[in-house]
Chain A
Amino acid sequence: MQDKEFDDLFNSKLGNFEVQPSAQVWQNIDAELRGKKKKSAFTMLSIAASVLILLTAGILFIPKKGVVKHNKQDTNTVAKVNPSVVKPENTRPVKSSETQQAQLAAVETSVKPATKANQPKIKTNAVEQKEQANPSIVKTEIVKHDNQPLIASTETSKQIEVAKPIELTDATSEENKETIDNSAISLPAQPVLASAQPAKTKPVVKKRGIRNFGDIVNLVVAKVDKRQDKLIEFKDNDDDESIISAVHLGALKIKRDN
């Protein structure tokens, strides 16, 4: 019997050999395919969930930033105004006492809540100092000084203003001191300053808040979960890695103290 013949024998008898498999085989295949599908549906769900979380985080986060920015801008613009108002004082130590008289006048008008009649005077002073932008700025300043509610709305600016004159006191002459003291007194009342404090510090805290994953989770959870004990809390360990510090699931409460 030749090899070819031999092979053909097997081929003809076994080539179309059929045996009905047990029912278990299809069940296993079905389960496997179903499992795969479940898995893929699960992955789709988890992807959707993470997108949702990111979006939520984004929506909660971005407007916050916008507000912070606005605050900053307010303080910035006002801060810009202030130096120009205070400028005469600033430059005073540099400039000799010859020009002191003129400048004193400027300070007096700018600091003392002045009447509108004073303004032309300021203008001339300002021109002398080549500060063309000053008059209008000073004007608004003065108006603000007269108007308490307005001052309240621009609290932060006042703080800077108050701080600067005080810094200057040592460097300036007795006369200047007096006027500056006056200005300090004539400036907004203490309560307003106090109220300005949180507004100024708050954005700073926010700014350094988000440094890692844990901070983001904390932020999102804080938005969603208003309870004292949040659903989950992260905190930074010594290596600046965020670790879960607390979990609160109804009856289950775990908190790490260190």
Chain B
Amino acid sequence: MMFLEHKYTIEDLVKRCKANERKAQELLYKQFASKMLGVCLRYANDRMEAEDMLQNGFIRVFQKIADYRGDGSFEGWVRRIMIHSSIEYYRKHHKMLSVADLEETGKEPSVEAVAAARLDAKDLMALIQQLSPGYRMVFNLYAIEGYSHKEIGEIMGISEGASKSQLSRARAILKEQIIQSDGKRYEYAG
């Protein structure tokens, strides 16, 4: 790890960042930037949006670093800020986060585990980015971040029920997409 090479511990860097030391801020950024861009990408339409979210998130990290008391991992703390920064970004730029409640909950398409497993991270990322923002947020928060519907409701300002229904709708859309791409794959193969 780059970190060990520099002989800095995260604790040290955090301490120095609290003292507003520019070099430490840069080192801390470099330590987490790639990982956090990976987080932001899941909440964004594209890379440009994701980098905007990342930028806002890190500015917030450095502004609020004095609030970090050391309980829980620092990475987890930064990640939460990135998630909030991403949601905030959508609040600002897209205004409407929550999608209207679903009229009909059609039968979910069945996806073969093999087909899904064939997809690599980039494919899955592309699938998530195709979702409308509201679905994307809920799916990310629940499936990947591991938040409860209650927590998601609080973060996004929607009801617990709305969170549940948006999650299942998001899953249905994703499955549909996987089946489609899998079918295409078959066509090419055959």
Contacts and interface: CB of A to CB of B under 8 A. Distances in A.
A17 B111 contact: no
A175 to B, nearest CB: 91
Contacts of A13: 119-121, 124
Q: Give the size category of B's interface with A.
A: 35 or more
Nearest to A13: B121
A11 B142 CA distance: 10
Interface in A2-22: 3, 5-7, 9-11, 13-22
A94 B37 CA distance: 102
A210 interface: no
Interface in B29-70: 29-30, 33-35, 37-38, 41-42, 47, 51, 54-55, 58-59, 62-63
Interface in B100-143: 110-113, 116-117, 119-121, 124-125, 128, 139, 142-143
B26 interface: yes
B1 interface: no
B171 interface: yes
A21 B37 CA distance: 7
A32 interface: yes
B128 A14 contact: yes
B175 interface: yes
A6 B124 contact: no
Nearest to B112: A1
Nearest to B117: A9
A189 B181 CA distance: 116
Interface stretch (A23-31, A67-75, A113-121, A193-201): A23-31
B86 interface: no
B32 to A, nearest CB: 10
A174 B29 CA distance: 103
Given A21-B33, A29-B58, A10 B41 contact: no
A6 B175 contact: yes
A9 B116 contact: yes
Given A16-B38, A21-B37, A1 B59 contact: no
Nearest to A33: B62
A3 B109 CA distance: 11
Nearest to B47: A19
A38 B33 CA distance: 25
Overall SS of chain A's interface? helix
Contact of A25 (B20, B33, B113, B146): B33
A9 B139 CA distance: 13
B29 A14 contact: no
B79 to A, nearest CB: 10
Contacts of A30: 22, 25-26
A13 B62 CA distance: 29
B189 interface: no
B41 A17 contact: yes
Given A11-B144, A33-B25, A26 B33 contact: yes
Contact of B116 (A6, A15, A32): A6
B124 to A, nearest CB: 5
A255 B47 CA distance: 57
B144 A32 contact: no
Contact of B54 (A1, A21, A32): A21
Contact of A19 (B38, B55, B144): B38
Contact of A14 (B34, B38, B110, B168): B38
Contacts of B26: 26, 30
A28 B37 contact: no
A1 B38 contact: no
12 contacts: A7-B171, A10-B139, A10-B144, A16-B35, A17-B42, A18-B34, A21-B37, A28-B55, A32-B59, A33-B22, A33-B59, A37-B20
Interface of B: 20, 22, 25-26, 29-30, 33-35, 37-38, 41-42, 47, 51, 54-55, 58-59, 62-63, 110-113, 116-117, 119-121, 124-125, 128, 139, 142-144, 146, 168, 171, 174-175
Given A7-B142, A26-B29, 6 more contacts: A1-B113, A3-B171, A10-B139, A11-B144, A14-B121, A30-B22
User: Considering the complex of A and B, which 3 residue pairs feature the smallest CB-CB distances, nearest first?
Assistant: A7-B143, A17-B38, A18-B34
